[in-house]
Amino acid sequence: MKKIVVIGGGTMGNGIAHVCAMSGYSVKLVDANEQALDRAMILIEKNLDRMLAKEKITQAQKLETLERLHPALSISQSVLEADLIIEAVPEILSLKESVLREADSVAPENAILASNTSSISITKLASMTSRSDRFIGMHFFNPVPVMKLVEVVRGLDTSQRTVDAIMKTAEFLGKTPVEVQDSPGFVSNRVLMPMINEAIFCLQEGVGNAEQVDEVMKLGMAHPMGPLRLADFIGLDVCLNILNVLYEGFKDPKYRPSPLLVKMVDAGKLGDKTGQGFYLHGK
């Protein structure tokens, strides 16, 4: 692996591009929206400055990282020489399908296509391409430069060679890869989302207010953020979407989303990104 293309300049995409470039890869960060691309590059520089201020990287490392990062608007022109393409566009199946089909149609034969999806079946996404053996889930966690895990998701047809290459690449990025099978929510969100959902039920039923629910989990279970604060951080729409994937995937009522979560999303209170969620944020 030498050349990586990251598609999608949102929170996950810019974080993934950041760590790939910092680890020495030549990275193209692609987003069709020029303003989103500009914002992504500004955010990467800001996060590098944060690491510089904490003396985690040097000024030279910051500059080298930025030199290895190339923003681009077109998928087909960017993937022509790629070794690895990581798709990190929003969790909308039709959007992922069009992005993956475009990348697959022009990428080199040997290139691996990975998706950062947090909820869509890797096997289903792989079937939209002509390379289901070279298709894999590479699930990063927010904030990407900080979180150590990459959940490596093996689809039905993913080859051992692809798994080995991605496990090695994730390690090279300074992450700890954990291989799991393709299943709704994989392991991470199958375990995390019911906890967040239950915390929202506690709030809804008045068992505790948001601060009380979060304090219990922070101080009693050593979670860095309480589940309600984490839901705001992830995005309430994202949480609802993943719970619906679990609910529909397993046909099990234990995954039913809390009515309060549905109501919050209906009201457009999506957490940090809208400034309002279970907490008020500075927007």
What is the DSSP track for 87-102?
E---S-HHHHHHHHHH
Could you tell me which stretch among 25-33, 172-180, 211-219, 223-231 binds ligand CAA (CB under 6 A)? Answer: 223-231
98 included as an active-site residue: no
223 included as an active-site residue: no
Beta carbon nearer to ligand CAA, 30 or 234: 234
50 binds ligand CAA (CB under 6 A): yes
CA atoms of 127 and 183, how far apart (whole Å): 15
Which residue's CB atom is positioned nearest to ligand CAA?
118
x/- mask, ligand CAA, residues 152-181, rule CB under 6 A, reads ------------------------------
Spatial contact of 168 and 143, defined as CB atoms under 8 Å apart: no
Determine which residue in the list 66, 147, 178, 260 makes contact with ligand CAA, applying CB under 6 A.
147
132 included as an active-site residue: no
116 binds ligand CAA (CB under 6 A): no
- Residue 50, CA distances (Å) to 40, 44, 46, 55, 145 in order: 15, 10, 6, 9, 11
Beta carbon nearer to ligand CAA, 32 or 225: 225
CA atoms of 150 and 170, how far apart (whole Å): 7
19 binds ligand CAA (CB under 6 A): no
Could you tell me which stretch among 61-69, 122-130, 145-153, 200-208 binds ligand CAA (CB under 6 A)? Answer: 145-153
The three-state secondary structure class of 23 is: coil
Task: Name every residue whose Cβ is closer than 8 Å to that of residue 51 and which is 6 or more positions away in sequence.
Answer: 57, 62, 145
Residue 109 has what DSSP assignment? Answer: T
Which residues of this protein are in contact with ligand CAA, per CB under 6 A? 47, 50-51, 54, 118, 141-143, 145-147, 188-189, 224-225, 230, 234, 238
